[in-house]
A and B are shown apart, each in its own frame.
Chain A
Amino acid sequence: MTTSLQKTPGGASTGEPLLSVRDLTVAFTRRGEPDSVAVDGVSFDVAPGQIVGLVGESGCGKSVTSMAITRLLPARGVRVTGSAMMDGVDLLTLPEAEMRERRGRDLSMVFQDPLSSLNPVIPVGLQVTEVLTRHRGMKKEAARAEAADLLDRVGIPDPRRRLDSYPHQLSGGMRQRALIAIALACRPRLLIADEPTTALDVTIQAQILELLKDMVRDTGAALVMITHDLGVVAGLCETVNVLYGGRIVERAQRHRLFATPRHPYTNGLLGSIPRLDSPAGEDLVAIPGSVADNLPWASACAFAPRCPRAVGVCRTTTPEAETSGGRLLRCHNPVPATAE
């Protein structure tokens, strides 16, 4: 447990949130086509040092959410509305030059594919020192020493020599370690990790999760953990946001969410957590259908065509998000709260 940070036992922060996302909506616009809304009024808070999960199937808008907050979406063909407050400023309206100052320094990202996220023609060490000279104004030699230290801290053996290695000479796990080192090199207060273990071997995944947990604890950074896998969230996050079709459908403390999932989609996801002992390649999707079946949120519950608990009203009326007892729920006919 983090001790240096003020937190109530429930995990909810006293005081100001570090990041406060409100009504984030991202629409992709293409001439001659109706806008396609990828993220639809998403709101959530991240307290300093807190680990928050953002969970949902592929295509539900997790990456777009994170790219919108960090302003990495293409400049054209995208409309972003809402706000993302950090340090009293709205990241979404900050001038690009100021955003560039903050990226890597105040907030950082770790991406899914560690090989393609590293520049293939530059030695790993230079990619670490680049951020150190950029944000911490370090001189070349000092930055190199610090880089070796960082690689050492993320568990890369023989870090001095690894500084001169090219990305393709490292294993997948080592690359992701290096990327974590780079992302945390300037001690940002917020780290967004977008499926950081998805591209890795199962055996490596647990190590990387452990490392991420240790690193954010050591540096005091808050972590937004993006994953399609509730199993990843299980040992990590304090609060979990479940995203479906661009909207948050359920949010609760992790142990409550796992003990008593109320949203039928969360319930379905919990039934499909892959286990280490399940045969490789086995299709674990317990929820029938796909996001292609979604109904428009504007006049229904998007999940209705796939929902085992769907009732008539689900196809005619938008379920509104309701909060009670620290849990947010967007459902007309939730799973009964038996054991709560």
Chain B
Amino acid sequence: MTTLLQRKRKRVDDLAGGRSLTQEALRRLRRDPVALTGAAIVGLFVLVAVFAPLIAPYEATQSFPQLQQDLRPGSIPGPQEGFLLGSDQLGRDFFSRLVLASQQTLLVGVLATLIGLVVGMVIGTLAGAFGGWVDTLLMRVTDVLLAIPSLLLAISVAALFASPSQTSVIIAVSIVGVPIFARLLRGSMLAQRDSDHVVAATALGVRRPAVVLRHMLPNAIGPVVVQATLTLATSILDAAALSFLGLGDADPGRAEWGLMLAQAQALLEVRPALALYPAAAIIVIALGFTLLGESLREALDPKGSR
């Protein structure tokens, strides 16, 4: 005997027609408070970054005489009319700089992660699909990269450039992600290679490139997507660290949280807010990506599905 509810549910399932496992995972995500928190933080951050020029009342480099006249050793003007968070150490609007800096963070974080993702995926796909000496060679290289602490790796690469720039930061940070993505994808590609449906596709005579790209890669990519979200967090932290260490963008006027933090270091006792807000921004956004990444991992885990 079928209850009304069962019949209704069946009808809903039927109507759903083609609904992939990914879509089901997304459905689960929408009910997960951790995922929602992460998504809210990330969403807010992206919104702020995209609309930063509209939100920030002033330019990042604009300095104001009325703020500068109150600047003296041991005192930096605090919040006042027209300047929501007061002045920075050079008489610029701190709020505007804080908001505009989000653009740098988003740009560097996303680009560095994407580059690392693409390069890592190419390496991981080649290694996992072909095995043999290709695999051995590529994995030796990634092992070496993985053996170096990530920040140290980023610093070493950044230091290779004659003059630090935004590009050098992006490249340095992206290299940290490459071996992680490569290893991860290689592992899941290897698992796919022996999986039933790949053997079945091979048994049907499907061509090798199609087996790799259509049957192996899409099934192997879940963990990589999760990792990309988590890597966004570490990329943001690494990029901030590079700036903090003076290996970032040389343009002194450009607002960037890591650099702001470095410059505020000497002023901790004068106006702790100058260090506190950029630090909090970095941490909260890294946390947002981490929460989102972790809940993605859970949602995509086949063991988690009913």
Name the residue of chain B whose CB is nearest to the CB of A124: B18
The residues of A that contact B206 with a CB separation of less than 8 Å are: 100, 104, 130-131, 134
At the interface, yes or no: B13 with Cβ under 8 Å from chain A?
yes
Q: Total contacts A to B, CB within 8 angstroms?
A: 86
The residues of A that contact B203 with a CB separation of less than 8 Å are: 70, 72, 103-104, 108-109, 111
Known: A109-B200, A111-B196, A117-B197. A166 touches B205 (CB 8 A): no
CB proximity of A118 to chain B, nearest CB, Å = 6
The residues of B that contact A108 with a CB separation of less than 8 Å are: 203-204
Among listed B19-27, B63-71, B240-248, B255-263, interface-contacting one: B19-27
Contact check, A161 vs B17: say whether CB atoms are below 8 A apart.
yes
CB proximity of B101 to chain A, nearest CB, Å = 39
At the interface, yes or no: A168 with Cβ under 8 Å from chain B?
yes
Contact check, B205 vs A168: say whether CB atoms are below 8 A apart.
no
CB proximity of A83 to chain B, nearest CB, Å = 20
CA distance A131 to B214 in the complex (A): 13
| Interface residues on chain B, number (Cβ under 8 Å) | 27
Contact check, B205 vs A165: say whether CB atoms are below 8 A apart.
no
The residues of A that contact B219 with a CB separation of less than 8 Å are: 119-121
Describe B's contact surface by its main secondary structure.
Answer: helix
CB proximity of B207 to chain A, nearest CB, Å = 7
At the interface, yes or no: B202 with Cβ under 8 Å from chain A?
yes
At the interface, yes or no: A320 with Cβ under 8 Å from chain B?
no
At the interface, yes or no: A2 with Cβ under 8 Å from chain B?
no
Contact check, B201 vs A119: say whether CB atoms are below 8 A apart.
yes
Contact check, A130 vs B204: say whether CB atoms are below 8 A apart.
yes
CA distance A171 to B219 in the complex (A): 21
CB proximity of A123 to chain B, nearest CB, Å = 6
At the interface, yes or no: B8 with Cβ under 8 Å from chain A?
no
- B window 183-201: CB within 8 A of A: 194-197, 199-201
Chosen A-B contacts, 23 in total, with CB atoms closer than 8 Å, are A74-B194, A100-B202, A101-B205, A103-B202, A104-B203, A104-B204, A108-B203, A113-B196, A118-B197, A119-B214, A120-B197, A120-B219, A121-B21, A122-B214, A122-B215, A122-B218, A131-B206, A135-B205, A161-B17, A165-B18, A166-B19, A166-B20, A169-B13
Q: Which residues of A contact B (CB under 8 A)?
A: 70, 72, 74, 100-105, 108-109, 111, 113, 116-123, 130-131, 134-135, 161, 164-166, 168-169, 179, 182-183
Instruction: Report the 9 A-B pairs with minimum CB-CB distance, sorted nearest first.
Output: A104-B205, A104-B204, A103-B205, A116-B196, A164-B18, A117-B200, A109-B203, A119-B197, A121-B218
